Amino acid sequence: MSANHSIAKQRLCAVLTRIETACRAAGRHPDSVRLLAVSKAQPAQAIRTLAGLGQRAFGENYVQEALAKERELADLRLEWHLIGPLQSNKARLAAAHFDWLHSLDRSKLLPALSEGREGRPPLNVLIQVNVDREPSKHGVAPEAIGGLAEAVVRHRGLRLRGLMTIPAPLDLDHRRRAFAALAELFERLRRDHPEIDTLSMGMSDDFEAAIAEGANLIRIGTALFGSRPVRRHAAEADTESLH
Ligand SMILES: *Cc1c(COP(=O)(O)O)cnc(C)c1O
């Protein structure tokens, strides 16, 4: 067993133990929370190692970066989630290559997502909500959720699954209130869309609070992979966001 393998195993076990503890504290079954491993900025080999330990679902923020890794890992049957903001001109490509989209924030993307999905099982879609109404942040305002949800279900090839949020990076009490607010918005949306089942909230340093408030999909990067390598070039990130 290589050193990398045993470090990955320790980190995964530690995260699974934290999930279990948080679930027990909340009176929930540990199986009610899905773990999404956020592998942005991590090499394909690190994903392969974690996949070897049984992890299936991986989250990426950038379409091009994810496609390169998907090609390299095509022999594994992994589930890919796009969790970063999506540019309009990449919507078609994203729909063709990911299983889930966590960051839907405008109806303008829907025709391209629908077309890009043709001939495949539906793309699972979460609406990203800007619960804290931060001016510079992605996501729709709470009052816009209903309209966007209606637009999603009118498009062939898309399956509305629920909501996602990234709270403002304030103290834990604040973030917990943001998680509670999203859970309430989720229950409200479920009255009109009883099929929705996914509440994506919580990251490495706040997922216990998210679980306490009802998260059933948590997005964990650092706690599983260690700190992220710095992106090779700032310019590369810029290129990606311009395309
Ligand atoms: C990077 C990222 C994560 C993971 O963050 P960690 O703090 O490393 O766990 C989760 N969700 C989104 C949307 C991200 O961009």
Mean pLDDT of 174-190: 98
Q: What is the pLDDT of residue 184?
A: 98
Residue 211 scores a pLDDT above 80? yes
- Judge whether residue 80 has pLDDT over 70: yes
In the reported structure, the alpha carbon of residue 75 is separated from the centroid of ligand 1 by a whole-number distance in angstroms of 26
Please tell me if the CB atom of residue 32 comes closer than 6 angstroms to any atom of ligand 1: no
Q: pTM value?
A: 0.94
Contact criterion met (CB below 8 Å) for 99 and 76: no
pLDDT digits (tens, 9 = 90+) for 129-180: 999 999 888 999 999 999 999 999 999 999 999 999 999 999 999 999 999 9
The CB of 241 under 6 Å from ligand 1? The reply is: no
Atom number of ligand 1 nearest to Cα 222: 8
Q: Cα of 154 to ligand 1 centre, how many Å?
A: 30
Q: What is the pLDDT of residues 10-56, one digit of tens each?
A: 999 999 999 999 999 999 999 999 999 999 999 999 999 999 999 99
Question: 143: which residues sit within 8 A by CB, 6+ positions away?
Answer: none
As a dihedral over the C-alpha atoms of residue 209, residue 143, residue 198, residue 10, rounded to 10 degrees, the angle is: -30
Residue 1: per-residue pLDDT: 58
Task: Provide the pLDDT for residue 219.
Answer: 98
pLDDT at 235 over 50: no
Secondary structure in 3-state letters for 113-179: HHHHCCCCCCEEEEEEECCCCCCCCCCECHHHHHHHHHHHHCCCCEEEEEEECCCCCCCHHHHHHHH
Q: What is the Cα–Cα distance from 31 to 150, expressed in whole angstroms?
A: 30
* CATH C-level class of 3-225: alpha beta
Report pLDDT for 16. Answer: 98
Give CA–CA dist 4/26, Å, rounded: 33
Nearest alpha carbon, ligand 1 atom 5: 221
Asked if 175 and 206 touch (Cβ cutoff 8 Å), the reply is: yes
Atom 4 in ligand 1: residue holding the nearest Cα: 221
Q: Which residue has the higher pLDDT, 238 or 172?
A: 172
Cα(196) to centroid(ligand 1), Å = 23
Distance of CA 62 to the CA centre of its chain: 12
Show me where the domains of the chain are located. 3-225
